[in-house]
């Protein structure tokens, strides 16, 4: 088995057995270094925003000692940044109760 196959099996195994850790690492590496893997960043933040993004944020801070929001702030700009930060911080704001008329 060559290194590429080993890497592929490792990713598959991690995503199946430890999905939150997989998302945490994927988000980190999508923003680490020069450039941003925008497709991966958008796919994870939007796709997990209503499912388990709060847990991902907690694990992210524990593992990388910075918040997901801080890293997104540093790596993105403009409306793109505002939308991602809005999704990331959505669970921090209380949902207003619906009004009836």
pLDDT one-digit tens code per residue, 59-88: 999 999 999 999 999 999 999 999 999 999
HSE toward the beta carbon, residue 1, CA cutoff 13 A: 7
pLDDT band at 96 (very low <50, low <70, confident <90, very high): low
C-alpha–C-alpha distance, residues 93 and 72, integer Å? 18
Question: Domain spans of the chain?
Answer: 21-92
Superfamily of 21-92 according to CATH: Annexin (1.10.220.10)
Q: Provide the whole-model pTM.
A: 0.81
The percent of the chain in helix, strand and coil, each rounded to the nearest 5, is 70, 0, 30
């Amino acid at each position: 088995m060559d290194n590429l196959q080993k890497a592929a099996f490792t990713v598959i195994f991690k995503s199946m057995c430890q999905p939150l850790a997989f998302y945490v690492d994927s988000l980190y590496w999508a923003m680490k270094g020069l450039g941003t893997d925008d497709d991966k960043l958008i796919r994870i933040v939007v796709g997990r925003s209503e499912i388990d993004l709060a847990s991902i944020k907690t694990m992210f801070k524990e593992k990388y000692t910075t918040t997901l929001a801080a890293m997104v702030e540093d790596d993105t700009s403009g409306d793109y940044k505002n939308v991602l930060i809005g999704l990331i911080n959505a669970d921090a704001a209380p949902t207003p109760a619906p009004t009836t008329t």
